[in-house]
Amino acid sequence: MSTTRTRRSLRRIWRWPALLAVLTVFGLLSALIGQTGFWWALSWIALAAPLAVIVWSAAKGVQRSRA
């Protein structure tokens, strides 16, 4: 396998986990640093997004197993 193909596949594999990690870190920092309701709302949204992805993926997996 060529190096560019390996790099491309690694990017494809790690794109969503890296994005969710960045979103989680942003949510944690905004909850710690932010002192107003605006930042707290952003932190709730940012921290709920990975949970929504988990629920969506689990539901998608259940639908596949039933088909």
Buried b (16+ CB within 10 A) or exposed e, 25-64: ebbeebeeeeeeeeeeebbeebbebbeeeeeeeeeeeeee
Q: How far apart are CA 47 and CA 36, in angstroms?
A: 17
User: Are 27 and 43 within 8 A, CB to CB?
Assistant: yes
Per the model's pLDDT, the better-predicted residue between 64 and 47 turns out to be 47
Q: pLDDT confidence of 11, banded at 50, 70, 90?
A: confident
Share of the chain above pLDDT 90, in %: 64
- 6: pLDDT strictly greater than 90: no
Q: Which domain holds residue 62?
A: 3-66
Lowest mean pLDDT among 6-10, 13-17, 63-67: 63-67
Domain count of the fold of the chain: 1
